[in-house]
Amino acid sequence: MRSFRYFLPTTNLIFGKGTLKYIGVEAKKLGKKALLVTGKKSMEKLGFLKKAVESMEKEGLEVVHYGEVEPNPTVDIVNEGAEKSIDNRCDVIVGLGGGSAIDTAKNIAVVSGHSEGEKISIWEFAEVHDVPRQITSKTLPVIAITSTSGTGSHVSRFAVVTNQQKKQKIGILSPFICPKVSIVDVDILSYMSPSLTAQTGFDTMTHVMESFVSRLANPITDFYCLKAMELVFNYLPRAYSNGDDTEAREFMALADTYGGWALNTSRIVLPHALSHPISAFYPEIAHGVALAALTPEIMRFNIEKGNEETVSKYCQIAKAGGIKVNSFTKEEALKSVEVIEELLKKIKLNVTLKGLGVKKDKIEGMTESAFTAMKGPIEANPVPVIREDILNLYSRSM
Ligand code: NZQ
Ligand code: MN
């Protein structure tokens, strides 16, 4: 066996129906004044914002609400939230929502913890600089309550943020932003619409497929990835067609959690590297939808150029999808693309970049952005890629 590294997160995971009520007791262990970070509508409309505030106030915490997060959150949204946290002297940051709210909470925790009276920006910590500002233990503690399944953000050491001026969407990476407590309450997840279920569920699928074929994959992440792929193949179509199917929701939430644990170490690879520039140029295209447009062509590319080990991994993906694989050949590995395309059809995500409104004249810019902002995932791809490959993959996904 090759030697490997595995990042073991120190998150206290609280999983199951009705678990939102524990937020007060848990937050009290970490601070006295919480900044509660949410998106603009869903959590308030569905009553979960009120429940979270009440639970924390009951335990004697003061709560300040920052509810300005938008999907594909920007540097400005993070910095504005951090200002609110600093002005109010908050000492614990709670993210309630999808990946966008949780990532923003993590990034606010970084900025507030390091500002020390100065005005600083989350962008200073981005690994696009030659010498990025270091993220240290001064980062405020984060609690995540996830409302999607999902990004894995509730158990990951990554937080995504977009710089709209520079057209770069990056992942801030640090063990200090890994949530101290993570609540996965199926009552919240059951409100996802079919389309949100599909796009977030497919995001999970890509996390575990990409972490599985990644150069940084190891026996521990492989274990989570294979199990999570089986769960997504079985339960995503069910959760999509019946949002009240609690069993399907629970298993999708579990797959999402396994995905976060896997990508913490193995990273994501080419589909994510190419999808981030799409969000940077077209913030209205949801993360999971961009991935759906890109994934099949990238799978074909990795199989065609992949070595024996990579080809065998794609064969195992096909097997996880219930397909009989006779030998570990490239031909058999292509069955994994078929089974993914079938899944995408079932959840109505069989989309193309062109269909999503992506214009050909942006391909050059998106390719530049991928090489600047997504170096890590490009390097983790099992097949080495050059600029030409990325241009071609965008074109073929049109
Ligand atoms: O904004 P509100 O009003 O809350 O509504 C949201 C938003 O409009 C709504 N929503 C969320 N939970 C809901 C709900 N509506 C009804 N019922 C619920 N239970 O859904 C919309 C999308 O929410 P968002 O948080 O943007 O979705 P998602 O969870 O897919 O997060 C996407 C973000 O996470 C990043 C993505 O890049 C993107 O910015 N990612 C984070 C990762 C990480 N930290 O490790 C890894 C991922 O690869 C991903 O990049
Ligand atoms: Mn993702």
Considering the entire predicted model, what is its pTM?
0.98
* Cβ neighbours, 10 Å, residue 326: 9
Question: Helix (H) and strand (E) counts for the chain?
Answer: 17, 8
Tens-place pLDDT, residues 244-272: 999 999 999 999 999 999 999 999 999 99
**pLDDT at residue 330, rounded to an integer:** 98
**pLDDT at residue 213, rounded to an integer:** 98
CB distance 147 to ligand 1 below 6 Å: yes
CA distance 244 to 248: 9
CB distance 310 to ligand 1 below 6 Å: no
Which of the listed residues 37, 107, 147 should we mutate to test ligand 1's pocket, taking the one with most ligand atoms within 8 A of CB?
147
In CATH, 194-396 is 1.20.1090.10: yes
CATH number listed for the domain at residues 12-189: 3.40.50.1970
**pLDDT at residue 96, rounded to an integer:** 98
Tens-place pLDDT, residues 69-111: 999 999 999 999 999 999 999 999 999 999 999 999 999 999 9
Question: pLDDT tier at 191 (50, 70, 90 boundaries)?
Answer: very high
Question: pLDDT tier at 199 (50, 70, 90 boundaries)?
Answer: very high
> Which long-range CB contacts under 8 A does 41-48 form with residues at least 24 apart?
42/97, 42/147, 42/191, 43/67, 43/96, 43/97, 43/101, 43/147, 46/188, 46/191, 48/20, 48/96, 48/145, 48/147, 48/188
* DSSP symbol at 141: P
Question: pLDDT tier at 292 (50, 70, 90 boundaries)?
Answer: very high
CA of 111 relative to ligand 2 center, distance in Å: 23
Give the residue-averaged pLDDT of 221-246.
98
CA of 201 relative to ligand 2 center, distance in Å: 10
CA of 204 relative to ligand 2 center, distance in Å: 7
* Average predicted confidence (pLDDT) for the chain: 97
CB distance 191 to ligand 1 below 6 Å: yes
CA distance 121 to 398: 35
Question: pLDDT tier at 176 (50, 70, 90 boundaries)?
Answer: very high
Q: What tokens appear for 119 in the block?
A: 């005005």
**pLDDT at residue 345, rounded to an integer:** 98
Question: pLDDT tier at 196 (50, 70, 90 boundaries)?
Answer: very high
Ion ligand 2, residue ranges at CB < 5 A: 203
Domain positions in the chain: 12-189, 194-396
Which of the listed residues 103, 186, 195 should we mutate to test ligand 1's pocket, taking the one with most ligand atoms within 8 A of CB?
103
Helices (H), 306-328: 308-320
Tens-place pLDDT, residues 376-397: 999 999 999 999 999 999 999 9
Give the residue-averaged pLDDT of 13-28.
98
CB distance 97 to ligand 1 below 6 Å: yes
Give the residue-averaged pLDDT of 203-229.
98
**Atom of ligand 1 minimally distant from the CA of 279:** 37
Give the residue-averaged pLDDT of 221-245.
98
Ligand 1 atom 38 nearest Cα: 72
Give the residue-averaged pLDDT of 23-29.
98
**pLDDT at residue 254, rounded to an integer:** 98
CA 75 to chain centre: 17
